[in-house]
Every structure is written in C-alpha cells, then in structure tokens.
C-alpha cells in the first residue's frame, strides 16, 4: 500500500531522497515545494489537450488519451531521470491536489519496489501551509519574528553587508534576492521577478531555516519589492523592528555603486528605459538630462544626480516612520576592510540583542 502524508515540515522533507512534482512545467514554474524536481506525467500541451477533450468531446476519450500519455511519460522518466536510483530510493510524489497524476506515478514507483510516499492534497497542501505561515496570526513570545532592519541611503552597501553578516554567523534574509529585484535601477538583475506565490514559498522556506529566538537581519524595505508584496507576518514584524542605520557620504556611495555594478553603463538602452520609468515628479528636462548623461557615458555625474535628486529625498520622506536605532554606523569609505569592520560591529551589536523592541542608541 502506498504511504501518504501531509507533513511538509522542513525535517520531514529532508527525510526523502527526492521530492517529485509531476505537474506540468507551467504549473511547476508558477510555484513548487522547495528542492522539488519536475517530472511531469503530462506536459503543458498534453494537459491542455486532455482538458479540452474532456469538455468538448468525451470524458472517456480524454481519460484514455491522457492515460496513454501518462504511461509514456512515466516510462521515459524511468529510463532517464530515475534510471540511476537503486531499490532504496525514497521519493515524495505530488501533483496539484493529490489526484490521478501523482497516483499514477506513485503506483508505478511502488511496483518498481521503491518506498514511495504520496502527498495527500498535493501542491494545495503546501500552499495552505505557506499561507498559514505568512498570513495567519503571528505566534506569541519566542516564536514571533525577531527582526532588526539594516537601513541607509541607496548605495550604502546593505546587500554586501548582509552577505558578510551571514558569513559571520548572523541570521539574515536577503529579501531582494528572494524577489529577484534590487531597490534601485543601479542593481537591476535583468531576471524576471517570480510570481507572488513563488516569492512567498521562498520566503516561508527562508524563515523555516532560521532560529526565531535569535535576531534576524533584513534590509529595510517598503511593503512592496518591485511587483511583489510582503506578507503580513513579515511586514508587521518589520514595522516594529529596531534598526541599524548606515551613514555614508554620497561620494563613497557613488564610488561603491560604480564599482559594485560595473555593467551599469554597458546597456545604454536598458539604462535609459529604466530612467524613463522613474516617478513623474521629476520634470521632463531632468529626465532628459539624465538620459543624455547615460548616452554620453557620464556615469559618475548621473549616479550622483540620481542620489541627490531621487533616491535620497525618497529615503528622507520615509524617515519619520522609522523605528528606534540600535546602532548608527558611520563609514567614510567603503573599502573591503571598511565593510568587514562594519560587519563585525553590526554582528557585535546583534549579539547583544535578545528580543525585538526599542534599544539603546549607539554611534560608531
């Protein structure tokens, strides 16, 4: 008899040799359980054709045609992606709602001799878990998110400091990396953002891997990152979180951006398109001047103007809503040694924090 489960905790998922999503590639791309591999029993075109056949022609014909394709595709997976697994292979298999597609794959795997487990409720079981984690009531006490915001003007090295802090053993979440988005046009990833569901899966998984009794550093963000929205559990915790403020002169920030994003001027058309999408509280003449600077390769001038006229004012407009400061860290330069020392000071401050809330302000 095929085993079934609804346990999708991190520990439970780590007990399988593979998590196999048998849905179509399009369904998988929209969202899937972390670390799952896609071995579809029906591809996108086949799934669409079976659905059309079911509605417009005959339920029997649709089932027979679908079964033939499913059998063919499972056979192909056995001879390719699954060919090297021995008899002890322990997969978890799921489809959309724990229906016929996962049942077909699990049945064949059981006949092969593999100790297969089928996810009851399919992907929808996973989605309900994510929604409960991110949209439900925040757990009280030690289970509540213990966040500290890393704050500062654009170009202050927040992303680089998150990376260094992680190497120092500090718990961090890089929200912009999860969202495939950078907060300014300087760091555009040229990678499409995921949909909201996949972003939430990434976020829920990142949180599941962290110890909630210890502080977690995140970059100060608005409630939206590009086209994506921060779910309530995270946004509520961010609004009450204390912060570490980076104070860096504009000259150092400009130099950092030009060094960090060396390809910023390589694609002039993309840069000009990004400039054209900036909020329209800038005059046409200002936008035209920035576009001309991009076209002519006057990047230091362009970056400085964008800092002083666009990003810095936007940062200051939100300053009134910012929470208490745990540490003000002043950096005159942003060399490797300066950033490493900043990471050390931040890690030292974080180690002294045991719970979220207002703390004593320090300057360094």
Q: pLDDT at position 143, please? A: 64
pLDDT digits (tens, 9 = 90+) for 181-222: 876 666 555 678 999 999 999 999 999 999 988 999 999 988
Q: pLDDT at position 324, please? A: 87
Question: What average pLDDT is seen over the chain?
Answer: 90
Residue 176 pLDDT level (bands cut at 50, 70, 90): very high
Active-site choice (42, 95, 218, 230):
95
Highest-confidence range of 21-30, 268-277, 304-313, 345-354, by mean pLDDT?
21-30
Q: pLDDT at position 301, please? A: 93
Q: pLDDT at position 321, please? A: 62
Asked about 209 being catalytic, the answer comes back as: no
Q: What tokens appear for 334 in the block?
A: 């942003």
> CATH number of the domain at 139-351, out of 3.40.50, 1.25.40, 1.10.3470, 3.30.450?
3.40.50
Q: What tokens appear for 217 in the block?
A: 């550093």
Q: pLDDT at position 304, please? A: 94
Q: Please say if the pLDDT value at position 359 is more than 50.
A: no
Q: pLDDT at position 80, please? A: 98
| % the chain with pLDDT above 90 | 71
pLDDT digits (tens, 9 = 90+) for 90-123: 999 999 999 999 999 999 999 999 999 999 999 9
The reported pTM is 0.89
- Identical fold, 3-132 and 139-351: no
Which has the minimum average pLDDT: 77-81, 87-91, 140-144?
140-144
Q: Please say if the pLDDT value at position 319 is more than 70.
A: no
Residue 27 pLDDT level (bands cut at 50, 70, 90): very high
- The domain ranges of the chain are 3-132, 139-351
Residue 139 pLDDT level (bands cut at 50, 70, 90): low
Mean pLDDT confidence for 251-262: 85
Q: pLDDT at position 246, please? A: 96
CB 84 within 8 A of CB 111: no
CB 104 within 8 A of CB 70: yes
User: How far apart are the C-alpha atoms of 238 and 222, rounded to whole Å?
Assistant: 9
- C-alpha distances out from residue 316 to 182, 245, 313, 364, Å: 19, 13, 5, 21
Q: Considering the domain 3-132 in this protein, what is its CATH number?
A: 3.40.250.10
Q: What tokens appear for 78 in the block?
A: 């056995």
pLDDT digits (tens, 9 = 90+) for 51-66: 999 999 899 999 999 9
DSSP 213: T
């Amino acid at each position: 008899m095929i085993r079934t489960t609804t346990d999708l905790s991190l520990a439970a998922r780590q007990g399988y040799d593979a998590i196999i999503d048998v849905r179509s590639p399009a369904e998988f791309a929209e969202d899937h359980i972390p670390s799952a591999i896609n071995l579809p029993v029906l591809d996108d075109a086949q799934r669409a054709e079976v659905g059309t056949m079911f509605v417009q022609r005959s339920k029997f014909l649709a089932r027979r045609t679908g079964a033939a394709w499913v059998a063919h595709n499972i056979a192909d997976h056995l001879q390719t992606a699954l060919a090297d697994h021995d008899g002890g292979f322990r997969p978890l298999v799921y489809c959309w709602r724990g229906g016929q597609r996962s049942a077909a794959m699990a049945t064949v795997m059981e006949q092969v001799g593999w100790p297969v487990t089928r996810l009851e409720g399919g992907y929808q079981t996973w989605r309900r878990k994510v929604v409960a984690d991110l949209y439900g009531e925040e757990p009280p006490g030690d289970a509540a998110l213990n966040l500290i915001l890393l704050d500062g003007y654009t170009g202050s090295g927040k992303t680089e400091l998150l990376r260094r802090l992680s190497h120092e053993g500090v718990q961090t979440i890089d929200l912009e990396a999860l969202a495939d988005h950078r907060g300014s046009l300087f760091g555009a990833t040229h990678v499409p953002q995921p949909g909201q569901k996949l972003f939430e899966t990434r976020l829920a998984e990142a949180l599941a891997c962290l110890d909630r009794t210890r502080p977690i550093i995140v970059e100060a963000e608005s409630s939206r990152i590009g086209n994506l929205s921060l779910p309530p559990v995270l946004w509520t915790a961010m609004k009450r979180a204390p912060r570490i403020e980076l104070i860096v002169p504009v000259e150092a920030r400009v130099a950092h951006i030009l060094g960090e994003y060396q390809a910023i001027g390589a694609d002039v058309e993309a840069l000009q398109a990004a400039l054209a999408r900036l909020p329209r509280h800038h005059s046409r003449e200002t936008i035209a001047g920035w576009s001309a600077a991009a076209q002519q390769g006057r990047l230091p001038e362009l970056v400085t103007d964008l800092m002083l006229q666009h990003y810095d004012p936007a940062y200051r407009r939100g300053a009134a809503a910012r929470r208490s400061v745990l540490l003000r860290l002043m950096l005159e330069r942003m060399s490797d040694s300066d950033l490493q020392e900043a990471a050390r000071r931040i890690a030292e401050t974080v180690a002294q924090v045991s719970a979220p809330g207002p703390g004593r302000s320090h300057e360094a």
